[in-house]
Amino acid sequence: MIAAPWNLILTIAFVFTGLVCLIDLMPRLARARGRKGPFDGEILVDVNHILMSAAMIWMSWSMESELALWIQVAVFTALTLALLPLLGRTRNAPARIGLLGHLILNAAMIWMLAAMPLLMAGMNMGHDMDSGMDMGGQMPMDDTTVGPMMMGTPMWADIVNVFFVALSAATMLWWLYRLACSRHHRLHATCHIVMAAGMGVMLILMNG
């Protein structure tokens, strides 16, 4: 789990994003049922972010189930593949960039879930090193302490993680720009700002 107070801060942030997308989703579903047509891209984006918000809240408090991690990898991979064709059907450049931002956050989410054991290895090593010290500051060394406890996050994983943090920050800046320029859908833009910021913060905390 993420250490306090960040787990509380992230929970509040992702409850906000989940509720905003849920409130947006309900009338869209009603309209889709009324015209009996296929779900549009906005419905898929809302569903995607509701599930992402729930997954981020879960990761803030519990990361013990490896099966749950890989189920989420499969879910967000499927959602990403479903969103990809929408790039060719977007109305204009801002809509296309916005959709690209959603895809970036999905890719960051998949990376976070799949690489979580690697990202948190350094953190776990630090905790194990502290707990292994005796009163004289010496750490007992034997065959059981050399292994996973002494292996931190590999450098390539750190680099990839920084890359996704940067992409999350760029997505946040895009939605800040949209918030400043638009007179409509400001709450939804704020939701995406919080989602992108929360993604970047979570990646940093896991790799701490």
Q: Please measure the distance between the N-terminal and C-terminal CA atoms of the chain and give it in whole angstroms.
A: 13
Q: Which residue is listed with tokens 């994003």? A: 17
- pLDDT at residue 14 greater than cutoff 70: yes
More confident residue, 12 or 122: 12
pLDDT of residue 159: 95
Token pair recorded at residue 177? 């720009």
**Which of helix, strand or coil describes residue 76?**
helix
- pLDDT at residue 30 greater than cutoff 60: yes
Average pLDDT over residues 124-145: 45
Is the model's pTM score more than 0.85?
A: no
Contact in structure between 160 and 115 (CB atoms under 8 Å): yes
Average pLDDT over residues 77-104: 91
Token pair recorded at residue 123? 């953190």
pLDDT of residue 148: 41
Question: For residue 150, what pLDDT band results from cuts at 50, 70 and 90?
Answer: very low
pLDDT of residue 130: 44
pLDDT of residue 124: 52
- pLDDT at residue 149 greater than cutoff 60: no
Average pLDDT across the chain, whole number: 84
Average pLDDT over residues 70-82: 95
Tell me the HSE value of 66 on the side-chain side, using a 13 A CA sphere. Answer: 3
Helix and strand totals (H; E) in the chain:
7, 0
Residue 33 makes CB contacts below 8 A (sequence gap 6+) with none
Cα torsion 113, 119, 124, 130: sign: negative
pLDDT of residue 146: 41
pLDDT of residue 128: 45
Range of 46-55, 111-120, 150-159 with top mean pLDDT: 46-55
Question: For residue 51, what pLDDT band results from cuts at 50, 70 and 90?
Answer: very high
Question: For residue 203, what pLDDT band results from cuts at 50, 70 and 90?
Answer: very high
Distance separating alpha carbons of residues 6 and 73, to the nearest angstrom:
23
Question: For residue 133, what pLDDT band results from cuts at 50, 70 and 90?
Answer: very low
Residue 80 makes CB contacts below 8 A (sequence gap 6+) with 103, 106, 107, 110
Question: For residue 137, what pLDDT band results from cuts at 50, 70 and 90?
Answer: very low
Distance separating alpha carbons of residues 134 and 145, to the nearest angstrom:
14
